Amino acid sequence: MDISRYEVEITRHALQQARHRGIDPQLIQYVLRQGTVEQFGKHGIKFICTGAKRTIICVGHCIGTRIRIFTITEGA
């Protein structure tokens, strides 16, 4: 998925979660650009990037030309 066509918004809550979990903002950008995309429900979207040590998941929704990330978590 080419996210350059979309306006990406990351909520304050998501940034607080990332900071609490020790996830660097540059890593978030990498996940959004290089991660695999899974769609769920009507507007739900997940960006998943699996690394050697951990998996980062950015969850949000895509409506029109806008992607809003509302949670950032680590997977197993």
All structural domains of the chain with their residue ranges: 3-75
The CATH fold assigned to 3-75 is YaeB-like fold (3.30.2310)
pLDDT of res. 52 = 85
pLDDT of res. 76 = 67
Question: Which residues, including other chains, have CB under 8 Å from residue 14's CB and lie 6 or more apart?
Answer: 58, 69, 70, 71, 72
pLDDT of res. 44 = 95
Spans of the chain, pLDDT less than 70: 76
pLDDT of res. 1 = 73
pLDDT of res. 55 = 94
Kindly provide the residue ranges of all beta strands, DSSP E only, lying in 1-76, ordered along the sequence.
7-10, 36-40, 44-50, 55-63, 66-75
State the pTM of this model: 0.88
Neighbouring-strand partners of residue 57: 48, 73
